[in-house]
Structure 1
């Protein structure tokens, strides 16, 4: 059945715009098929068909169509300013109509292809711009990391210089104390020599008095004997054994490798962690008694990690860290969970925090430091930040950390 040509329509114009009203009963935006080019306008709404072979070209890109109230209203913008004598060309044969249709289809295909290519070019430009922005962001992050490293190096250098100055001042103070002690000993020796010389003079005086006056001999002998008694040296003590007890050392380190200052700092940190663990946190009163123990939460997180429930393990470690943020093993275990979940930046953050708490570098925390270095390095490698990993690793690891890491590998 051939389509029904629509002849009943209204149109009006100005010098730049043509308004076309096409009545179609029951038409909706999803039902009508509208095709428009510079010289051809077609509306297909089965069983109705409307075609217009425009007498002058229009701007098909900016022209608009509005569907509603059983009517399609077209707003067609003219390419050339002027008034039209008619909407459609008159006396158009079938061959000419077919040529106009084919030309319009080719124009529409060409415009669609150009539009697709333009969209592809715009997409490529957007991707290139996004890549450029990402590279700038990464470069800024890399520069920020380098600045942080440089600040840490400067801080470490200043701390080392301050420590050397402190050691120098301590040595000078000790030398001053030794000089004062030596001067006190010399004064005591001089006083002792003076006392001996006075005793000798007294003895000589007594002897002269004895020779002059024999009647006073007994009294002189008495005085002389008392003086001799005062100068008598006491008898040596009896032979015996003296028991000496030494304070036990916490770290079994040889004396030639002793790091007393570092060991004392480590013990102070452990004592501080135990003190914080025993403190009462008011906002956690609703927890059970065992849930207030960071060690119990740590064991719970380890069991959840063993069952590959990494999110639950992270929650357990988070609560333990909230109770006590001075235990390095909590950050170390949480870094392992983040590494399993591919949260690489959080892995680096927790490993770094664990390394900050695992100071000073002593034998007892060497194994934990090795684990932190391995997990942090793994995250760097998976992020493909190889240069940052090598620079950081060479700047932060001690000889003991390097030794344990190579043994593990």
Structure 2
């Protein structure tokens, strides 16, 4: 039984209450304090200090300081007044028990609300980070596309300049050949025995020689469809593949439920393969990736209890306590009827759900799950020891678990 501390001192003003409780040689870090509107408790083994307050206080503004061998409470009254005493006078055991239970319930509810709020903030932060990353990747993709378009345009211009230069060279060559041919014909006629009129006719014939007109046409080229429209010789294949892979990973990380099953590889369509992959990721400490693998496996087959059981272990590691309870409950629902073959799985489900309840300070519910696990395997020393610790916490004979 704890030793009640009675040698405390207190003072008050119309708006504030000051309580000083001696630690009696106990280290400051070994004390556990709980404060509600009408109840204050400080547990520093083997001593216990508790007060059922005369009137309600403002918990959000009140302050507790531990140090220099004392616990100092600064409490703010909800309504300014001078109290006749610090605690309720002549309170019977039933009233104290009811007030104590109400205080514990209020603290558990607040802890649950804080945990839910923290989890919601974490999800919002993760979603915001992923959106920023996707935006950066999209901008990078546009930059790469612009570079490729610029390179394509420059290559097209260089090709047109090359073609124009080739046409000019061909025209010059053709003209040179024609002139050479005319000179040869003229020289030949000058040294021949033909009359003068024949020479003039030959000259007239040479002057009328006109080179043939070049034929023009177009060549149709068909390319295989690609994500990026540049030609293969201009492609930055490594950058494209890296961008596509990042997009796929981002879609999976944001929401596995919206993932298109047609994008999956053949082995990713096998729930057993995904379960083994989740086990490997869990063993490597990558619990979030393990949850994603198990989410996809559950989409493919939602009747396998081991998938929910394994995902509950991942959520327990990630401190997603409410999700741990949901997955363990779903696994127990599928593990029916209870037979010796599924006894080990049911034992794990009860222990994990009981652990999550205790982390939420719902010790009564946690003890019920541990006792259900002991019915499956009464000789399990670890489960029996943990159940006894929870029972002592509920009875108020042990500090909160480490």
Q: Tell me the TM-score normalized by structure 2.
A: 0.45
Q: Tell me the TM-score normalized by structure 1.
A: 0.44
